[in-house]
Amino acid sequence: MRIDLEKTLVGKITNISLLKTQVQSWQRLGQKVVFTNGVFDLLHIGHITYLAKAAELGEKLIIGLNADSSVRRLKGENRPVNDQNNRAAILAALFFVDAVVLFDEDTPLNLISTLLPDILVKGADYSVENIVGSKEVLANGGEVKTIDFVKGYSSTAIIEKIRQQIPGKA
């Protein structure tokens, strides 16, 4: 079987207005739409596990992806390691991801308020009441859930490990 990678990725990487229409269509068909967000800079087993568990909560998984400018504001000038186009393509390549949408703000509140997913998901390091967009999703009859992380994995830790292995850069 041959996969047209460009067609597959381009079809999943979208913008908020097109995605809003798609979400409404999925919901009309009775499909539960799950939304999560993050930087996903250096994709690792912790990310994959988290996203797979999020996908299991519904029929469609949307990832709100911090744009490069947002990542720099939140994580510093040396981040992201991978630019937004690469990060979006890698996430879109995952079979259980249905859509990836970039956002430039520090939080995905506008995305969540516009899309109104059925289920909003974040890591278990958040409490439901502190999850951005939880009030909007709950007010619309949706659910907010948390997922445990795989311990010992983070992009920051991977970057630090690489730095320590470069002579004179530790």
Would you state the pLDDT for residue 42?
87
Taking only the tens of pLDDT, the chain with its 170 residues reads 556 666 666 689 999 999 999 999 999 999 999 999 999 998 999 999 999 999 999 999 999 999 999 999 999 998 999 999 999 999 999 999 999 999 999 999 999 999 999 999 998 888 888 999 999 999 999 999 999 877 776 766 776 777 788 876 55
Residue 31 included in any domain: yes
DSSP three-state, residue 143: strand
Residue 129 included in any domain: yes
Would you state the pLDDT for residue 7?
61
Residue 28 included in any domain: yes
Would you state the pLDDT for residue 3?
60
Peptide linkage before 167 cis (omega within 30 of 0) = no
Q: What residue numbers bound the domain in which 112 lies? A: 5-165
Residue 81 included in any domain: yes
- Which residue, 56, 77, 59, is CA-closest to 68? 77
Would you state the pLDDT for residue 170?
53
Residue 49 included in any domain: yes
Alpha carbon dihedral 43, 40, 149, 61, in 10-degree steps, equals: -100
Residue 170 included in any domain: no
Would you state the pLDDT for residue 35?
98
The 10s digit of each residue's pLDDT in 25-54 is 999 999 999 999 999 998 999 999 999 999
Residue 112 included in any domain: yes
**Total structural domains in the chain?**
1
DSSP three-state, residue 74: helix
- 129 phi and psi, to 5 degrees? -70, -15
Residue 140 included in any domain: yes
CATH number of the CATH domain containing 18: 3.40.50.620
